[in-house]
Amino acid sequence: MTTLWQMEKEKYGPRTEQVISVLSGLLNIDWFVNAGTPHYRKEAEEAIREWMASFDLKQYHYHIHWLEEGTIVPSLAKMNLAKSPLWRSLFPIPEHMKQATAVAGREGCLTRLVDEVPARLFHHCFDAAYRAFHQYGSSVVKTAVCSVMYIGGMACAWESVADLDGWGSNPFRALLRVFEYGHCPLGMGDEQLYLF
C-alpha cells in the first residue's frame, strides 16, 4: 500500500515530510466530537493560550468564550474580524510566507500546498461539520469547515517554511490541538475568541 508520504515526496519542498505529518494528523481527527460539551474544554483553552502566546498580544486581554446552543448564530452574526487585534496579526502571515518562499525559490511548492491541502481538509471534515452544526444553519456549518481549512492550511504552510529564516517553531500546531480535543474555534472579534 502506498502511503501519503510516498505519493507526495518532495511535493511541498524540503520539509514535505513534516507537512505530510501534520496533514496526516489532521486527516485522522475525529472532527467536532466534543463540540457543545464540557469535555476537554480546559485542555482546548490551554492550547488556545499557547497559540496566542506566539503572537505579541500582551497588551490585549483576550477572553475565550464558549458558545452555547442558543448563542452560536447571534454571536457569529456579531463577529467582526476587522476589530480583532489578533486577526490583524494573523492576516499578513500568508503574504509573508509567499515572500519568503519567493526569495527561497520555492513559491511553486507553497502554491501547490495552498491549492491542495484546504481542499483535502474540506472533503475530510464537511460531513462531520454537517452532523455537528446543521441544526444551527448552513452558515455555522460553513464557518466550522472554513475554520478547519484555514487553521489546517496555515499549520501545513507554516511547516513548509519552518526551515527559512524568521519562521522556526509552528504556532499553529498548538491550535490544531483544539480540533484534536473535539472542539472548534469558530471565530474572533474585539478581544473574544469563540469556541464550541
pLDDT in tens, 150-182: 999 999 999 999 999 999 999 999 999 999 999
Q: Is residue 179 part of a domain?
A: yes
* Domain interval for residue 191: 30-195
Q: How far apart are CA 34 and CA 25, in angstroms?
A: 18
- Provide the CB-side half-sphere exposure for 37 (13 A, CA): 10
Q: Is residue 21 part of a domain?
A: no
Strand partners, 194: 65, 187
User: Is 111 a member of any domain?
Assistant: yes
How far is Cα 166 from Cα 185, in angstroms, rounded to an integer?
A: 27
Q: Which residue shows C-alpha cell 492550511?
A: 153
Q: In the prediction, which pLDDT does 53 show?
A: 84
76, 77, 80, 81: CA torsion to nearest 10: 40
Q: Which residues pair with 187 in a beta bridge?
A: 194
Residue 8: predicted pLDDT: 58
Q: Which of 76, 29, 84, 95 is nearest to 57 (CA)?
A: 84
Tens digits of per-residue pLDDT, 127-136? Answer: 999 999 999 9
Parallel, antiparallel or unpaired: strands 185-189 and 192-195: antiparallel
| Structural domains counted in the chain | 1
The answer to whether position 184 is within a domain reads yes
If one counts every other C-beta atom within 10 angstroms of the C-beta of residue 196, the result is: 28
Inside any domain, residue 106? yes
1 falls within a domain: no
Predicted pLDDT of residue 2: 46
In whole angstroms, how far apart are CA 177 and each of 22, 59, 94, 100?
11, 25, 21, 27
Rounded distance between C-alpha atoms, residue 178 and residue 41, angstroms: 9
Positive or negative, the CA dihedral 125, 131, 137, 140 is negative
Predicted confidence (pLDDT) at residue 1 exceeds the cutoff of 50: no
- Whether residue 9 is contained in a domain is answered as no
Evaluate whether residue 4 is within a structural domain.
no
Point out the least confidently predicted range of 14-23, 29-38, 49-58, 110-119. 49-58
